[in-house]
Every structure is written in structure tokens, then in C-alpha cells.
Structure 1
């Protein structure tokens, strides 16, 4: 039967070729969840998909004992839970038993002498607690040639600077961008980056230890690739708002690698304008020379401005129309901590709509020749999106359960809310909020451009 994803559920990960587990995201510690579990399943490090199992039940293997927390004290038998997760993966992810499979290892980190420098940029504004967790995860990277830049955007105090200095001043560089706006903060980091590749993640995201290695490997494998995005999975599903986000859209783009270029548009009639399908700003990287060559990020877009987003989408589009290849590589994993309250979620979804409308306005404003192409693609693109939405009603965010609480989250949803409104209470409201934001996007972009011109004429040093 088909069961809609609900919270709370503990997010874990499991590697079919690694003994033990399940583990906390990033394989930081083993866990003994007490309730429903959603697991990222890997084989030899490569992500295969997400599976879910319901609460463990007493069996002939032994009862589940009491516990004082999600991973403390005696609790559900971890071996039994592992078996249940493995069985779910074999049913839903075409993951055969380990003995019948030939493991394919994810790319290994290159020797330090041959590894190109990667500059990792984290932009933040007034969230030192989240930032501390994000930086701690980044410092566990297995890539040998990495510099970390923390851009403090329009800070009201020195809390972020003190955190960076205390955490690891030798490996973390603190930068300050006084003008509010995520695109401006990204550009500040970009201007200071020394790496051949520049990677971006958010202060509410936890990078996998192999994240930088996977990104760098994609660039090394194909010189035509100038932008790489990666898999974003939820770090927690503690609240109904977090589960609602996954049901409505989520950040996941599936578990199969993909490449896009203007030379091979594929079957999507909205290509290249549906840039949200390529990835998200929480997990993206560029060849530094390329992103600088296209002008960086538009400062009139992004969180912290009237547009509330869209700077990442516009960068993806700019890379493509400049003749480069954009690649999605699910081996590059980032865990994202979604908004915890419904009020925060609703504001975020409306902001997504505003950012989308602003991005499209910016695209045709900066390159008027794109307008005719966009208008030509809209009718067929709208029909295509609606078909995908209908097909995705049992896609990402839904557990294809077997009646016993097991299932898969297959990552095939559309990234829009239009496909779940008739099945998920609350999705219709989120869809209306996103549409409201979309309609306001063009006006917001024009306001933001005027604001940006004013900022440029003032001294913010």
C-alpha cells in the first residue's frame, strides 16, 4: 500500500557493504532509533536510494528494550533493524544481496600532491548554532586540498566570528560582507577563493565526508563540465513541517547521474529554464574561472533581498547558455536541516515562488533574446510539468509500504507542489503560496535591482 511520509522519523544511513549500522548521517555514530526510520542506503559508499521502516516490534529475535533517547541505552536490536532495512532495499531499490553484487566504490580522494585546490564557501547570517554543526561536518572531509571560507553576511554581532576563531582558525577563513543578500555573500567568498573549483553549501546543511571528493572527481572526469550539483537529503524528520517539505518538493533530484548542455537538451520542453531540476544552492560547485567569467551571482537575487532566492538558478542558466555542461552527481551528498515549524515552511515555499519569478525576470532582462524562446516553450512545458506532477503523486515523499511499515522513497517527484494537492493535506495551501510568490517575483526583482544600485552608491565598508 502507499503510505504518506509522516513525522517524526529518524534519518539514518546504511552501507550494504559496510558491517554494522544503522548510523547517524555522515557515519558519525551508530544509532538505535525507537520509532519509524528513513535510511539513505549505499553500496560501497554510493547512494542507491531512501527506504523506510516502521517502528520495531518485539519478535523471536528479542524484545526492544526501553531507552532514554534516540540512540542511548538498550533499545531496538540494531542487527534486526539492519536486516529490515536491507530487506527493504532489496525489495525497492534493486539492491541485490551483497554476495550477488559487484560493489562499485565511490571516487577515492586523490593524493594530496595531485589534488586541485577546492574552495568551500559557507554563507551565514545570525545562525551560529547551525553554522557550528555545518562547519564541524565540513572539517571531516576526506579531500586533501580544501580551503574553507565562512562569509558572515550583514552581521549584527561578532558571534559568528568568535565561533570561527574558536572552532579551527588554522583551517577556516572568516570573511565579512556588510551588505545583506546571499548572492552578495557568495560573491564575497568567490572573490577571495584561491581554488580551481569553488563549492557552496549552506549553514543549515551537513556535508558528507566524501562530498568534496565527489565534486572534484566530476570535474576531473570531464573538462566540459563547469558546474556540478549533488544529492540533498533530509538530515532530520523530527517535525511535521519537515515531512511536509519532503512531501511537497524536497531538494532531492534522484539517484542517477545526469548531464545537461545546450548541445543535448533532452526531452524537457522547459529546458534550460526549469533550472530547479538541475540542483540547489545548498550543494553546488563551479570551475572558479567559469563562475567568475559569467559575472558571479546576480546581487539583485537571493535570500536577504526582495527576491528571496533565485541566485543559484540564474547561475545554472548562465553556465548553460555560455556553452558549458552542468552535471548532477548523487555521490556528492549533503544532509539538509529543513525548517521545523509550519510558519517557517510556508514562508520558505512562498519565497521559492518569489525567487523563481525573479530568476526568470532576471534571465530575460539580462538576455532579452531568451524571452522569445521562453514564451515558445511555455505551452508544451506546462503540459509536460503537469504530466510529471501527476506521475509523481506516489513519488518523492511517499513510502511505498508493504503493510508492515517498510517502503521506499524513490526520489522521482517533480519538485513542484502541483502533484500532491489531492493526496496530502496542506499541499494545496503551499501551492497557492508558491504561486503567489511566483506572481510577485518580477516586481520583487525590479525593486531589488533599484536597491542594489543604491547599495553600490553607498559606502558599506
Structure 2
């Protein structure tokens, strides 16, 4: 598929990730399957936009034309893109040289609407972003906290244990690609879902989009390919249990928004399998490791139990809030009708 044109969209928002953004762009420049264009979308930060426009002369640097947040940034990138396929890379990630090639080969099948890849964590102590600008493949990937279970790597934006190559319900947003014609068919990313300027680490904009795409285009196929590899940076703050707990709760809130948009049957289909099969196995594995002398295994088992509980609590809170808001809206409408 050498003729396949792929536009790569990178959404940026803060100057604190200056080296990260440049490392991400450098990794796209070095792809075996050359990118048609690199689009950097800056989220309502004029100073950063001006700086990046000067430093990334070979990239298309634009300002987010929609509301603040990741969904608006992605929609802006799609609107600018010229490629047959639009790929998304996080601004704090670097892509392996075969990343785009791994995705491109699947688009020979016209049924394939989107492809996602394997996202590996760069834990604290890994190769710095400044070094990755010159050599995008990291020499060191840092040290995973002993208590951190692989089943919850999604909390740091990475591929989690239990996800297998092949057809999937949704791909992960920081390592994903879609045929460009899918966006007008399915609609763009929902600005009410996903990361914004809000401090709470919400997500799931790509999950809701993928489900909506499949609902409107039932024959479309989404794939996960573990040969399309990127590395995603995990800053020290996100390697702490406090963030883990906060991210789990926020994921529950986000899933409540997703189910309100696309229904609980599709909105929770993958989560049910993960909660009922993958997580119990992970907890048992952690306890077994602990009994064999790896005491951190008990921590991993405990983190799985607590992570599931906090996610469920967030989901329940999100559902209750949504229903309360809907009830108030109905009362307001009824009050206007009575007047």
C-alpha cells in the first residue's frame, strides 16, 4: 500500500511538552511508510502555536478551530488533512519506524475503517524526550512501579493486558488511524467527551466515536495490530497510586457519558469481558506471585480490586448525575409548558 496517503495529526496544548512534541514529530518524519503530512493542532494557546509554527517549518501547524479539548483538536486536524487515512499520535509519544507501515497494510481490505496499534509505556527513568528527537526509538523504557498491574495500563494511555490483535470494538485514541471518509459518515469526535481543560483526567472520546462509527456503518471493521508500535511517556505524577485512583474514577465518569450517547449494550461490551475475565485472572496472578516471594504481587492484586471499584463508583456517579440532569431538564420543559 505504498500509494496510501496517511496524514498524521498530533494535538498539543502546553509548552511543558516542548521536547515531547518535537520528539513525536521526529518519529513521524522517520517512518518507513512516509507520512503525507504532519499536522500539529495547538489547543487555544497562541504563544505555543507561534513557537511551533517557527520551529516545525516542515509541519502544518494550526490552531484548534473548535472548543477547547482533545476532541476539538482532533476534529480540526481531520478537517485540515488531505490523506486517504488520518492517523493520530499523542504529543508525548514517539512512533517506531514501522508504525504507519503496520497500519497501512490493513487498508488494502476495503472493509477496514480503522486500525490501532500497540502503545508501550515509557516509565520514569526512560530515555528523555530531548534525546528522542535525534533517535526516536528509546534506549531505556524506565521502571514500572511494582504495584502497577498491566491490566490497568490504559490508565496511562497504553495497551493493557487482555487486548489481543484482531478485530476490536474500539482502538485507543493516541495510537489510531481511520479512513478519512469515515468522519463525515460517522460524525466527528464528541466535544462533550474526552480530555479538556478540566483537571479531571476524562477520556473515551475515541471509544464513543468508534462505537458510533460501527452503529452507522455496520460492515466497517476496526483492527488492533501489535506491530504498529508507539511508546507513550508516563510522567512521575501518573506513576503514583493517587493518579491511578483518580484516573479510574474519571474513566467511570467517561463511560457513563459514552453509554448515554451510544447505549450500554455497545458502550460496555468490552468492559464486561475485561472486568469479568481479565481482571480476576490478573488478581489471581498477583496473589500467586506474592505467595512465590514477589511481594509486589499482592500490591498488583490489590490495585486491580481497588481500580475496578473506583471505576465502578465513577460510572455509578456519572449515571446518577446524568439522570438527575435529565429529570431537571424535563421539569424545566414542563414548567415552560404550564406557563
TM-score, reference length from structure 2: 0.73
2:146 & 2:70 partners in 1: Cα distance? 26
1:180 & 1:398 partners in 2: Cα distance? 43
1:143 & 1:280 partners in 2: Cα distance? 21
Instruction: Let me know the Cα RMSD of the aligned residues.
Output: 3.7
Are 1:279 and 2:182 an aligned pair? Answer: no
Distance 1:423 1:298, change over 3 A: closer
The offset of 1:422, in angstroms, is: 7.3
| Higher helix residue share | 2
1:404 & 1:432 partners in 2: Cα distance? 27
Structure 2 equivalent of residue 163 of structure 1? 52
Are 1:433 and 2:310 an aligned pair? Answer: yes
The offset of 1:327, in angstroms, is: 0.9
For residues 252-309 of structure 1, give each alpha carbon's deviation from its aligned partner in whole angstroms, at most 9, with x where no partner exists.
Answer: 256853125xxxxxxxxxxxxxx4xx43111111000012311111111110066822
The offset of 1:116, in angstroms, is: 1.7
The secondary structure found in structure 2 opposite 1:122 is: strand
Greater CA drift, 425-434 or 199-208: 425-434
CA contact (8 A) 2:282 2:301 kept: no
For residues 329-353 of structure 1, give each alpha carbon's deviation from its aligned partner in whole angstroms, at most 9, with x where no partner exists.
Answer: 1111111112422244433332222
Greater CA drift, 347-356 or 222-231: 347-356
1:441 & 1:340 partners in 2: Cα distance? 28
Distance 1:243 1:187, change over 3 A: farther
CA contact (8 A) 1:257 1:328 kept: yes
1:448 & 1:208 partners in 2: Cα distance? 45
1:383 & 1:288 partners in 2: Cα distance? 30
Structure 1 equivalent of residue 61 of structure 2? 174
Distance 1:447 1:185, change over 3 A: farther
Q: Which of 221, 229, 234 is equivalent to 1:333? A: 229
CA contact (8 A) 2:151 2:282 kept: no
The secondary structure found in structure 2 opposite 1:435 is: helix
CA contact (8 A) 1:149 1:174 kept: yes
Equivalent positions of 1:422-461 (< 5 A) are 423-442=300-319
TM-score, reference length from structure 1: 0.55
The secondary structure found in structure 1 opposite 2:181 is: helix
Structure 1 segments unaligned to the other structure (5+ residues): 1-109, 261-274, 365-370, 406-419, 450-461
The offset of 1:384, in angstroms, is: 7.6
Equivalent positions of 1:44-83 (< 5 A) are none
2:99 & 2:21 partners in 1: Cα distance? 17
Structure 2 equivalent of residue 185 of structure 1? 73
The offset of 1:436, in angstroms, is: 3.0
The secondary structure found in structure 2 opposite 1:158 is: helix
1:258 & 1:141 partners in 2: Cα distance? 23
The secondary structure found in structure 2 opposite 1:297 is: coil
The secondary structure found in structure 1 opposite 2:172 is: coil
Larger Rg: 1
Are 1:312 and 2:211 an aligned pair? Answer: no
